A and B are shown apart, each in its own frame.
Chain A
């Protein structure tokens, strides 16, 4: 569950201050698949950074699974992100020195899981996305689409409550983009909460709820059947 209350995010000070988010409030329930859309500069990525604890709002409150995050220290936020959240970045963001299976296992190791158990679980996550044979490949040996699927596997393998995806299809061709969306749909079907930022309408239509933004404000919030 995500509850944002009057989120404001400004950059700079005084006359040079730019307010990117202008008091956004929203509620996302567990199990929802939400797409945040809007033109470039609308503030959709900035909103996602606030909701996913990668950034701190200038004012307002973000509540995740009943925890008010404004009172958390940086270390507590890091721990919260590890335990409760998963991330899929636009440029895949896999660690270049780790193989696919090691990239997926890393958050689980940090959770305290034994290395062997983490690697087995990571291998299973790869099999789920039909990438079992690429387990020991380095990111540089994978295509963009394959890297993004590994990134998704990393985001979900440690069983987070919420997965955030920032423009996950931006660097992919339509075929790979479609496969990524299918992965998200399958996850959501299993009850995974997903918040995805995208500017591509054809991918947004897969979500069950579409929040449209413009100039730092939500201009529409539409649930789909």
Chain B
């Protein structure tokens, strides 16, 4: 015990002397060199956090948009093979009266055909300007409160609750606005010559085997990187109910806004409430297509691989810096050992220097990440074909990476210091 205490005291003394030496070496070293090393460490930190954060953010951006523009925190849809959510009125009542539900939007849906050219009869050798599309009946005000739907109108005007004979159509269904409008993809049908103000004819079958037709004026074009928005046609729910013999029992989607942390509880409560009635009730995270999750995982792995390379580069940088520093000061290291300064104290002085470079570089990286880059990418997302990429970086995650970076830095500082300090004292003093 006494021996342990003595060793601990010696180490504490060595740390104190190491700190004394390191502080003065940093203070009196070349400011330019110190700034360069810190700059490299800051870049390394950014490489660790930002590169992987952006890669994951490309997919997280898609997930975020899926939630904000379409699903809310909880989405209820009809089960596969079913045309609507069973016992919808009771479920709507439950949702409307739930104290933790902020707002919600119920949607009706039906597959329809839309004819884009009404004035001319189609020529024999020309395809009819017609597409199959999912028509959605929404309450514009309720939908806006859930998904800010009106903000997604890229051209024209949003729907109003009292609109009749007007429709919004997804940009991906119109050749002029679709990302695939300039290529011919077999099976992909797009409307030509349709824009805001155009008249289109919708036709659909009713339950009795007949056909229902109605003409709509395109009031606006909606565009989102969420396919569920950009590939649909929207009319008001009142008009939808007038067209089809449906009522509130035949709702097909309900998007609900609640606190994100409460979403799983709400899902469980709704499942309990629904009992044997069949519907698919999911949090938006669970409802995201699985391929997006797979891509997110892959991006995460890729980001970690790049981060590992950055760590290796950082450790080599610190190793070289400390090694060159120690080699050029070998004579002085010998003198220090000669006058009785313990090798451990000298090694600590270099480890503390490496720690200083690491902590200041990481600190600057942290400020740049959370003070500038994260807000910047939130305000100016990267325009990716299927998402608006954001920077995914959590403070706790950044702290873990700082921890890893510092451990690597300390090792990279200690090893070269040890290599030089252990050389023969007299040889070091005499430069042999």
Q: Hey, which bits of chain A sit against chain B, CB under 8 A?
A: 49, 54-55, 75, 78-83, 85-87, 89, 93, 95-98, 102, 106-107, 109-110, 112, 115, 138, 154-155
Interface contact B13-A110, CB-CB below 8 Å: yes
In the assembled complex, the CB of A115 is this many whole angstroms from the nearest CB of chain B, namely: 7
One of A82, A85, A86 near B341 (C-beta < 8 A): A82
Point out the residue from A49, A55, A87 that lies within 8 Å of B339, measured CB to CB: A87
For this complex, 13 residue pairs linking A to B, each with C-beta atoms less than 8 Å apart, are A78-B340, A79-B342, A80-B340, A81-B338, A82-B340, A96-B28, A97-B25, A106-B17, A106-B336, A109-B20, A110-B340, A112-B13, A138-B28
Interface pair B426/A154, CB less than 8 Å apart:
no
Number of interface residues of B (CB under 8 A): 25
Most buried by A among B29, B338, B345, B426: B338
Given A96-B332, A110-B17, answer yes or no on A81-B429 (Cβ-Cβ < 8 Å).
no
Q: Which residues of B contact A97 (CB under 8 A)?
A: 21, 24-25, 27-29
Residues of chain B with a CB closer than 8 A to A96's CB: 28, 332
- On chain B, the residues within 8 Å of A81 by CB distance are 338-340
Residues of A within 8 A of B17 (CB): 106, 109-110
The digit string for B409-432, where 1 denotes a CB below 8 A from any CB of A, is 000000000000000011001000
What is the minimal beta-carbon distance from A147 to any residue of chain B, in angstroms? 13
B 308-346 binary contact with A (CB < 8 Å = 1; else 0)? 000000000000000000000001100111111111010
Q: Does B214 contact A (CB under 8 A)?
A: no
Q: How far is the CA of A166 from the CA of B336 in the complex (A)?
A: 16
- Please, which residue of chain A has its CB at the minimum distance from the CB of B344? A75
8 A Cβ contacts from B1-50 to A: 13, 16-17, 20-21, 24-25, 27-29
CB B272 to nearest CB in A, in angstroms, measures: 68
| Max count, chain B CB within 10 A of own CB: residue among A54, A55, A155 | A54
In whole Å, how far is A40's beta carbon from the nearest beta carbon of chain B? 15
Q: How far is the CB of B241 from chain A (nearest CB, A)?
A: 83
- Give bound CA distance, A107 to B336, whole Å: 9
What is the CB-to-nearest-CB distance from A93 to chain B, in angstroms, rounded to a whole number?
Answer: 5
Beta-carbon contact of B338 and A115 below 8 Å: no
Contact call B429/A89, Cβ cutoff below 8 A:
yes
Q: A79-B340, A110-B17 are in contact. List 20 more A-B contacts (CB 8 A).
A: A54-B429, A75-B342, A75-B343, A78-B340, A82-B340, A82-B341, A83-B340, A85-B340, A89-B429, A93-B331, A93-B429, A97-B21, A102-B20, A106-B21, A106-B339, A107-B339, A107-B340, A109-B20, A110-B342, A115-B20
Q: How far is the CA of A87 from the CA of B20 in the complex (A)?
A: 21
Q: Is the CB of B338 within 8 A of A95?
A: no
Smallest Cβ-Cβ distance to A118: which chain B residue: B20
- Taken together as a complex, chains A and B put the C-alpha atoms of A82 and B340 apart, in Å, by 4
| CB < 8 Å neighbour of B24 from A80, A82, A102 | A102
CA distance A93 to B331 in the complex (A): 9
Residues of A within 8 A of B429 (CB): 54, 89, 93
Q: Which residues of B contact A95 (CB under 8 A)?
A: 332, 335-336
Q: Would B340 and A109 count as touching, CB distance under 8 A?
A: no
**CB-defined contacts of A110 to chain B, threshold 8 Å:** 13, 17, 340-342, 345
Q: For the complex, what is the distance from the CA of A85 to the CA of B338, rounded to whole Å? A: 10
- Verify B339–A82 contact, CB threshold 8 A: yes
Contact check, B342 vs A93: say whether CB atoms are below 8 A apart.
Answer: no
The 9 closest A-B pairs by CB, nearest first: A82-B340, A81-B340, A93-B335, A97-B28, A54-B426, A97-B24, A97-B25, A55-B426, A110-B341
A109 touches B342 (CB 8 A): no
Q: Closest B residue to A166 by CB, please name it.
A: B429
Residues of A within 8 A of B339 (CB): 81-82, 86-87, 106-107, 154-155
Complex-state Cα separation, A201 to B370, whole angstroms:
71
Query: Could you tell me the distance between the alpha carbons of A75 and B7 in the complex, rounded to whole angstroms?
Result: 12
Q: Which of A75, A85, A109 contacts B16 (CB 8 A)?
A: A109
Task: Name the A residues within 8 Å of B25 (CB-CB).
Answer: 97
**Contact of A107 with B341 at beta-carbon distance under 8 Å, contacts A54-B425, A54-B429, A95-B332 already known:** yes
Q: Report B107 CB to chain A, min CB distance, Å.
A: 72
A17 to chain B, nearest CB (A): 17
Q: Which residue of A lies closest to B425 (CB)?
A: A54
Q: With the chains together, A137 CA to B265 CA distance in Å?
A: 70
Contacts of B331 in A (CB 8 A): 93
Residues on A with beta carbons closer than 8 Å to the beta carbon of B345 = 110
In the complex, are the beta carbons of A89 and B335 less than 8 A apart? Answer: yes
Min CB gap A76→B, angstroms? 11
Residues of B within 8 A of A83 (CB): 340
Q: Across the two chains, which residue of chain B brings its CB closest to A81?
A: B340
Report chain A residues within 8 Å CB of B27: 97
